[in-house]
Chains A and B, each alone.
Chain A
Amino acid sequence: MSAPSPEIAVKTRSLTRILIYAALIVFAVYYLLPLYVMLVNSLKPLDEIRQGDMLSLPQQFTLDPWFSAWSTAQIGVQPTGLKPYFLNSILMVVPAVAASTLLGALNGYVLTKWRFPGDNLVFTLMLLSCFIPFQIVLIPMAKVLGLLNLAGTTWGLALVHAVYGIGFTTLFFRNYYEAFPTELVRAAMIDGASFFQIFRRILLPSSGPIIVVTVIWQFTNIWNDFLFGVSFADVNSLPMTVALNNLVSSSTGVKEYNVHFAGAILAALPTLIVYVVSGRYFVRGLMAGAVKG
């Protein structure tokens, strides 16, 4: 048996390379195809879609479906477009993400730097809350919202999401702060800094990566949530996801596919933007936690 000659070795190597790239391209196309279909068809008049070719580029380019989806399309019984519901979602997501992130950070700080008897039990219980399915909390949560007089409001929805998210955010921050040098906290104690001063001046400024991870995680989860929205919101506080569903399923008469596609892209846009802007930090933050923890 002779060893393979160098030329053959080079050839096989470039062949594997070609195969790998081919496979990757196939996967990329496979994943991007739905987005492509949505985008192209949201820019066509309805007639053109009806002609049957979902994959062709628009012959007659139009932005009307987008305007319609945003401001005039029929959602349920009102011809409001998705605009008010988009605002609802924003008003729900921002406080919920802010509150759950902040509380998660505080919890992580206490659980790692101010250990107390039973702290691990508390942490375990918070971890458990990550595994509770949405459906289980629906009825008790409805009861609590009623008691708080927040039923059917955007604030109520924000509260639900904030509470449900604290388990995850606590987990993220605890693991991150576990690797944070305790000597820094001790130095700050000797310098006379209080509990909150240490948190704000020493820990938070070093928490950039994990804050990004937490915000992305919470933002996408809360923005994309359907079940809590459909269960706890009333007609005026519906989030974007539920409104989109109503747009798609409730329109009487003709199905305006182009408007539906435009609406769906509008609904996905914020999470997309969050990923593009901070996705790099997301990966970096996850890695940091993984390596150090």
Chain B
Amino acid sequence: MPFLEIRNLEKKFGNVDVLKGIDLAIEEGGFLVLVGPSGCGKSTLLNTIAGLETITKGEIHINGRKVNDLHPSERDIAMVFQSYALYPNMTVAQNIAFGMEIKGVPKPERDKAVNDVSETLQIKHLLDRKPSQLSGGQRQRVAMGRALVRRPLVFLFDEPLSNLDAKLRVDMRTEIKRLHQSMKTTIVYVTHDQIEAMTLASRIAVLKDGILQQFGTPAEIYNHPANMFVADFMGSPAMNLIPVSVERSGQSVRLSMPQRSGDPLTLALPDSAGKIAGHAGGNVIFGIRPEALTDPDGADRGSAGVVLSECQIEVVEPAGSDTFAVTHLGGKQVVARLRADARVAAGSRMKLAFNLDKAVFFDPGTQLRIA
């Protein structure tokens, strides 16, 4: 039985539908990441779980208990806010202990709990400071301390790292992951950063305009996106989505896509990609991630679906660990991810290796994945 379950959840603000029937479930100890573009309803969904927003329709269950009508303090959750929301007039220690103080926990017990938590988070030396005397990273830790000390059934995080600088964000991300591994408490985590989503999640829910686009493990989301939106949203650089026509010649099926000059580029599909055969004579969207489109030496030798084809390289972008090469296929910019030391020059033609085992196909009309 799932630990946190959301059934057919709807939320309206006035006449505006913000959440349109969300179904989610996560097992105990799971790490659920809600991801999506700005304004898609992630925070609203999290707030309904916390009880900070009422729901229009549907049910929320935590640990087998329906919490729809419970006050936030009775739901056994703790929340870390994007702005940290530390009480400005209290010291760090008072901030962490506030919930216990309200509950009437005796002082010695409170002090011990604060002490334990501040040890875990290495903020002991900050206990007597006010929030205004802390750096962003320290505030972040204190906010987590305030959540940890409650020992909740579910942690809720609303973009907790988005106010930190890039380096600190990566450190804190690792730290959150480590904390989760040691505590094994269920977490729901909102972010619009798909890398955070991929690295942290045991399950990812991708939202757009209040509709759940896909719900699955990071690998499922990444390798088998349910539609073009998910394919485009997850991964950086984004998946190449190339309009192609499907042609049959004898036994084999090929993809054909116009180039900027010369003949159209054609790729013969190996048997493994034959699911697309039913669309022969029509058009589909051919999705291939940059890392499945490489220089021939960098291609995956274990894969049978690698097809070589010569392309015109228009731009080369060295990025240290990799070199990105931009070509033009089917009227779209297409990014290939080459090894850092691959020999490539802008304006030249070079052979690229398409790993068609990793390719996905979408219906251009419905935008849904067909293979």
Interface positions of A (Cβ within 8 A of B): 181, 183-184, 186-193, 197, 201-202, 205-206
Contacts and interface: CB of A to CB of B under 8 A. Distances in A.
A190 B78 contact: yes
Given A205-B89, A206-B88, A206-B89, A188 B83 contact: no
A188 B103 contact: no
B222 interface: no
A186 B99 CA distance: 12
Nearest to A186: B52
Q: Is the interface of B mostly helix, strand, loop or mixed?
A: mixed
Contact of B85 (A183, A192, A201, A205): A183
Contacts of A201: 87, 98
Interface in B72-104: 72-73, 77-79, 81-83, 85, 87-89, 98-99, 102-103
A179 to B, nearest CB: 13
B98 A191 contact: yes
A186 B102 contact: no
Contacts of A191: 73, 98-99, 102, 146
Given A186-B52, A186-B81, A192 B99 contact: yes
A184 B87 contact: yes
Contacts of A189: 52, 71-73
Contacts of A181: 83, 85
A191 B79 CA distance: 10
Interface residues of B, number: 21
B81 A183 contact: yes
A57 B112 CA distance: 70
Contacts of A190: 50, 52, 72-73, 77-79, 99
A193 B101 CA distance: 10
A189 B77 CA distance: 11
A188 B98 contact: yes
A209 to B, nearest CB: 13
A184, A189, A191, A202: residue with the most chain B Cβ atoms closer than 10 Å: A191
A213 to B, nearest CB: 19
Contacts of B77: 190
Nearest to A193: B102
B73 A183 contact: no
A192 B83 contact: no
